[in-house]
């Protein structure tokens, strides 16, 4: 690489250029750290409570046990509407198991279910 020799007169201009670049980087980092807006198909805990007819504590309990699919963004929980509908249909179809293959599939433990459970 070729080294450039800098004069004392160029120093203020170079420092100004560096300051502008640092400010641009800081702005980019701040924008990336902001929570991203959520899509319209996401529901809050209250929406899921209404949909399932359960209390908030019951919904939080199912989240803690990883029984229900959820999205955590910061300290907030969100639920994807189509995923919750599929999950609910799966839960309702448990009573309708007709063959041994479906039964074995249902009885296979879910590795995420007990992941964060405190015993």
Give tens-digit pLDDT for 39-97: 568 899 999 999 888 899 999 998 988 889 998 888 889 999 888 888 888 877 655 55
Whether residue 32 is contained in a domain is answered as no
Whether residue 96 is contained in a domain is answered as yes
Whether residue 113 is contained in a domain is answered as no
Residue range of the domain that includes 77: 42-107
Do residues 115 and 108 touch, judged by C-beta distance below 8 A? no
Q: What are the angstrom distances between the C-alpha of 48 and each of 27, 38, 44, 85, 108?
A: 36, 16, 6, 10, 26
pTM: 0.47
Q: Looking at residue 98, what is its pLDDT?
A: 58
Whether residue 26 is contained in a domain is answered as no
Whether residue 70 is contained in a domain is answered as yes
The total of structural domains in the chain comes to: 1
DSSP symbols for 54-118? --HHHHHHHHHTT-S--EEETTEEEEEHHHHHHHHHHHHGGGG--SHHHHHHHHSPPTTTTTT--
Whether residue 48 is contained in a domain is answered as yes
Whether residue 117 is contained in a domain is answered as no
Whether residue 7 is contained in a domain is answered as no
């Amino acid at each position: 690489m070729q080294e450039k020799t800098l004069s004392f007169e160029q120093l203020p201009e170079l420092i100004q250029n560096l300051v502008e670049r640092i400010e641009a980087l800081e702005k980019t980092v701040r924008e990336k750290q902001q929570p991203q807006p959520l899509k319209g198909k996401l529901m809050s805990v209250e929406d899921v409570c209404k949909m399932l007819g359960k209390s908030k504590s019951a919904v939080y309990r199912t989240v803690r046990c990883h029984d229900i699919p959820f999205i955590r963004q910061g300290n907030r929980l969100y639920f994807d509407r189509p995923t919750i509908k599929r999950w609910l249909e799966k839960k309702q179809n448990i009573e309708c198991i007709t063959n041994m293959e479906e039964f074995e599939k249902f009885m296979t433990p879910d590795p995420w279910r007990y992941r964060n459970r405190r015993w």
